[in-house]
Structure 1
Amino acid sequence: MSEKPSHKIQLYSNEFYSACTLGGIVACGPTHSSVAPLDLVKCRLQVNPTLYKSNVDGWKSIIRTEGFKKIFTGLGATFIGYSLQGAGKYGGYEFFKHFYTNSVVNPDLAKRHLTSVYLCASATAEFFADIMLCPFEAIKVRQQTTIPPFCNNVFQGLSKVYSLEGLAGFYKGIVPLWCRQIPYTMCKFTSFEEIVQAIYRRIPTPKEQLSSLSQISVSFLGGYLAGILCAVVSHPADVMVSKINSEKKEGESMIQSSKRIYKAIGFGGLWNGLLVRIVMVGTLTSFQWLIYDSFKVKVGLPTTG
């Protein structure tokens, strides 16, 4: 960590954005994949709250009835989908943060309203990132919420969805995905920026004089606190994504489907699995910032915040 790369990457150059995009892939693909067993139980409980008594009961039941390998159902779609999403989200955020600060509004005005810049940049980046994620999210949810699983692997899932529903089948959940992911990412990036800045203000030593390890530790703490907020903000939409992908009827519009599902589960049903998601998202978010900022330091870039 202490070794400095011989080649210095110029900020906001094509090489800078490429490095941030690669950092997003490294941060998101493996971390989301690591919690696939937890995500499996969460998604099934969102669709059927009476299916398992707890996470442990869910894993025991899956291993007993379906085999040990089945607790990793949806792993392939998760890894590919969230690697693509991470590329668009992190690389896009760095691009749009600089773009909005310098090209759309007066730079001096933008610096006085950085929170608005963070919100706009993260929302724009996530909008495009979700277009890449959506087909794989649709396959993942179908695999995880159907017993036996909808398909055995991501490639079989791609073929099956396309043969049954065409391209539209991959994007029938795009609106609820945007409703879940855009507020989540706006909260994730903006709260992270604000939290780490608040931490640095309370540390007597300026950030530039802190070691890389100290800065990355701040990123980890800020990421976990931001993750808790993200989980709460995005959870109702997360439930709806799972329900719509598994229960949307043919010919039914998104609004009709959402109304029917909400009538069936009620307001309380939108919060099924929240505690699990807080643990999962808090852990995910903290490790993503840890990995992303560690990667940036490794290639000679400053940490975020």
Structure 2
Amino acid sequence: MSGKKIELYSSEYYLACATGGFLACAPTHSGVLPVDLVKCRLQVKPGLYKGNFDGIRTIIKNEGLLKIFSGIAPTFIGYGLQGAGKYGFYEVFKKRYSDFFGVSNAYVYMLASASAEFLADLALCPFESMKVKIQTTLPPNQVVGLYSHLYSGLVPLWFRQIPYTCVKFTSFEKIVELIYTTFLTKPKEQYTKLQQTGVSFAGGYVAGIFCAIVSHPADVMVSLINNESGKGEAMTAAVSRIYKRIGFKGLWNGLGARIFMIGTLTGCQWLIYDSFKVAMGFPTTGH
């Protein structure tokens, strides 16, 4: 790269991290859209498919190849904006909270990630609602008239995404630390940038599995609320009605598909994000 080096923790640094977050999240969420489509349909209608690959194969056979990428526009835009906010604000809050408390530990990572996700979901929510409706009920040309209901799933989205992101960032930081201190023999700085980003991918993949399990019940509820919104029903009433119908067991519909999806995309997101940071001349995340 040419030009002036960006100073760490400057406004330009945080803007660059937000850009890296967009690049990490928009293509990865779009890339796993076929699995996400199967997952959302299984959450809305359990037993519809036998599994991930059966679902994808059935959709292609019955609805055409392009159908497996239903909702790609709101997915790319929504998760790109969310990724920019999530990673960018995480870097801001991690620095601010570390300076305030005088320590950088799991509690700081958790607080910083929760704060970042709270703001990032304001950008994601309407696009997530569009995506779910496209995938489960309506063709794209009918979604435009549903704008008044696009924030109906915001609170359940917070319940899904904030624990998800707390686990995603906190466990990633701790797993990367564990890899360097326990499984590898040298300090992080003595490994090449390529090796460091490999550690980021491994840490991200394991963190993604934890994320999927912790946030899955709320993910099921978000899918069902977005699928059934537009009935003039209060959010709390909708949650109560849906839970009575599906029960505790129903909150885990589609978990296998989501573990595969979230583990893969989370590993790839950290790989892309830290690769971008390396390209910008920044240190990789963690330890």
TM-score tier after normalising by the smaller chain length: over 0.9
Show the counterpart of 1:276: 257
Q: CA offsets per residue over residues 181-207 of structure 1, 9 Å max, x none?
A: 000000000000001011111222111
| 1:28–1:86 Cα contact (<8 Å) kept | yes
* SS, match of residue 52 in structure 1: coil
Q: Aligned pair 1:65/2:62, yes or no?
A: yes
Q: Which runs of 4+ in 1 moved over 4 A?
A: none
Show the counterpart of 1:191: 171
Q: Aligned pair 1:130/2:121, yes or no?
A: yes
Aligned mates of 1:61, 1:303 — CA distance in 2:
41
Query: How does 1:202-217 map onto structure 2 within 5 Å?
Result: 202=182, 203-217=184-198
| 1:74–1:144 Cα contact (<8 Å) kept | yes
| 2:146–2:230 Cα contact (<8 Å) kept | no
Is there any run of 5+ residues in structure 1 with no aligned partner, and where? none
Aligned-residue offset at 1:85: 0.2
Aligned mates of 1:72, 1:18 — CA distance in 2:
30
Show the counterpart of 2:15: 18
The percentage of counterpart residues that share the same residue type is 61
Pick from 139, 148, 160: which aligns with 2:145? 160
Pick from 140, 156, 179: which aligns with 1:151? 140
**Cα 1:28–1:180, aligned 2, differ >3 Å: closer, same or farther?**
same
Aligned mates of 1:191, 1:5 — CA distance in 2:
35
Aligned mates of 2:168, 2:110 — CA distance in 1:
10
Pick from 150, 162, 170: which aligns with 1:182? 162
Aligned mates of 2:264, 2:57 — CA distance in 1:
23
| 1:138–1:170 Cα contact (<8 Å) kept | yes
Aligned-residue offset at 1:249: 5.9
| 1:80–1:136 Cα contact (<8 Å) kept | yes
> What residue identity is the alignment partner of 2:109?
Y
Pick from 276, 280, 286: which aligns with 1:295? 276
Q: CA RMSD in A?
A: 1.4
Pick from 87, 94, 98: which aligns with 1:97? 94
Say which is worse superposed, 48-57 or 203-212, in terms of deviation: 48-57
Say which is worse superposed, 134-143 or 46-55, in terms of deviation: 46-55
Aligned mates of 1:60, 1:242 — CA distance in 2:
22
How many equivalent pairs are there?
Answer: 285
Q: Aligned pair 1:231/2:216, yes or no?
A: no
| 2:60–2:68 Cα contact (<8 Å) kept | yes
Aligned-residue offset at 1:50: 2.4
Is there any run of 5+ residues in structure 2 with no aligned partner, and where? none
Aligned mates of 2:54, 2:109 — CA distance in 1:
41
| 1:5–1:299 Cα contact (<8 Å) kept | no
Aligned-residue offset at 1:6: 6.2
| 1:249–1:257 Cα contact (<8 Å) kept | no
Q: CA offsets per residue over residues 165-187 of structure 1, 9 Å max, x none?
A: x3xx1100000000000000000
| 1:231–1:281 Cα contact (<8 Å) kept | yes
Query: How does 1:240-251 map onto structure 2 within 5 Å?
Result: 240-248=221-229, 250-251=231-232
* SS, match of residue 9 in structure 1: coil
| 1:17–1:94 Cα contact (<8 Å) kept | yes
Aligned mates of 1:195, 1:302 — CA distance in 2:
17
Aligned-residue offset at 1:101: 1.5
